[in-house]
């Protein structure tokens, strides 16, 4: 069984901070579940182009308002609390945060720990693996 608190994870190497967002990775590849689970804050006023070539992602919005643009067809989707979106086709997209947004994100395959977006907007495969711990 894995038991881990968000508060403790925020004060550890599991918290990754960039210019547009910060993400606390609660479950990672080292935990052996086959997916990773993150609580991510998107900073207000940011525009983040992404395309996860190596991962599939599901995102559930807990708080805040923004919009998701699907670059395949230029459609715009309002993102607000209670909305989920899944990037099931390695979709190229842009996330625009109108306010501070707090999201729960699930990645498959699991991230290792400290990944940030590369120039294409993807997370690379491999990289530093944070050690698994049954309780933190």
Predicted confidence (pLDDT) per residue in 106-135, tens digit: 999 999 988 898 888 888 787 667 766 554
pTM: 0.91
Q: Which of 9-13, 94-98, 129-133 has the lowest mean pLDDT?
A: 129-133
pLDDT, tens only, 15-31: 999 999 999 999 999 99
Q: What is the CA radius of gyration of the chain?
A: 14
- What single DSSP character describes residue 116? -
d(CA 6, CA 26): 7
The average confidence (pLDDT) of the chain is 93
For 9, the 3-state DSSP assignment is helix
Examine the pLDDT at 13 and tell me if it is beyond 70. Answer: yes
Which fold does the domain 20-108 belong to in CATH?
Jelly Rolls (2.60.120)
User: CA–CA separation, 26 vs 14, rounded Å?
Assistant: 7
């Amino acid at each position: 069984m894995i038991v881990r608190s968000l508060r403790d994870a925020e004060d550890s190497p599991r918290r990754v901070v960039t210019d547009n967002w910060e993400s606390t990775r609660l479950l990672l590849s080292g935990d052996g579940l086959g997916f990773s689970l993150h609580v991510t804050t998107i900073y207000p006023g940011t525009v983040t182009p992404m395309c996860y070539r190596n991962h599939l992602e599901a995102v559930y919005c807990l708080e805040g308002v923004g919009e998701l643009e699907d670059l395949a067809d230029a459609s715009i989707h309002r993102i607000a609390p209670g909305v989920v979106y899944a990037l099931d086709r390695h979709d190229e997209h842009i996330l625009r945060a109108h306010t501070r947004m707090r999201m729960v994100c699930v990645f498959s395959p699991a991230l290792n720990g400290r990944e940030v977006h590369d120039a294409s907007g993807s997370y690379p495969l491999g990289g530093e693996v944070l050690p698994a711990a049954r309780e933190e």
